[in-house]
Structures are given as structure tokens and as C-alpha cells.
Amino acid sequence: MKKKIAMRHAKPEDTGIIFEFIKELAEYEKLLHEVTTTEEQLKKTLFSTEYAKVLIAEYEGETAGIALYFHSYSTFLGKPGIYLEDLFVKEQFRGNGIGRALLKKLANICLENDFGRLEWSVLDWNKPAVDFYESLEAKSQNEWIKYRVDGESLKELAEN
């Protein structure tokens, strides 16, 4: 018998669950020390200002995975898109099609809204994720170098 995967958009009362997933993802990526957000901050930015949205996947009634995303824009296409910031499935639920179901839902949101693309980043050492994405025929964008300014560098850029 096929196991049931349910998908829904997060509500404010899911903030604690989202926060736990963020910390689990950060731990997996060896970046837990960089997590400075709080549940209060998440609730504000996800539900009051809606800077991002979260899909929650449940497997047999248990919260199993999340996809946190926001809208991007392509000047070349002249269309919005979706940037997937975080995709995380709890270890005990991996291999059950949950990651694929989350990406499929995001792809459907793109098509329903005439968006031009769905994109994301993955750490180069995360071979299981790279293999998974390539199995979906996702194409890596190796010609692009990602840059970031944050913390003190962000303050210095703004001031100087």
C-alpha cells in the first residue's frame, strides 16, 4: 500500500516546527552556529510581512519535511519565479518521495502562476542532494559564482 504524503502551506502556529527544521538543516550542513533567528522573528517575516512561504509535508500524519521559498524575478524572462531557500526532509522519512513531492508542488505553483523558473542552491559536498536534484534533471549553474554580504561587511558597505 502506498504511504500518504500530505502537503500544506504553513500557518503561524507552525512557527515552532519551522524553527526546528531550520535548526536540523543547519546542523546537517554544519552551520548551526550561524542560526541567529528566533521563533518570533520567523513568525514576523513569514506570516506578518510574508517575505517567504513554507510548504510543510506530512507523511502518514507526521511532519516530515519543509520547503521554504520566496519569489524571485528574471529580467531576461520578464517573469517572476521561485527561489527555494531550504528543502529539508527528516532523516527517518527520506527515500519516501517527500523531497520530490515538495519540488513537484513548487513546480506546479510556478506553472499555475506562469512563473519562469524554480531555482535553488546546494552545497557542493552534499552528494546525496546533488544526486537527487540531478535525477530530477535539474541543471547546475556552475558558471555563476554566488556572492554574499552580511554582518559587519553589510554594515560597512552601507556606511562607506
Condensed to tens digits (0 to 9), the pLDDT of residues 33-85 reads 999 999 999 999 999 999 999 999 999 999 999 999 999 999 999 999 999 99
pLDDT above 70: residue 29: yes
133 among known catalytic residues: yes
Question: Mean pLDDT of all residues in the chain?
Answer: 95
Residue whose grid cell is 520567523: 42
Q: pTM above the 0.75 mark?
A: yes
Cβ burial, residue 135 (10 Å; 0-12/13-18/19+): exposed
List the catalytic residue out of 28, 73, 83, 133.
Answer: 133
Q: Is the predicted pLDDT of residue 142 greater than 90, yes or no?
A: no
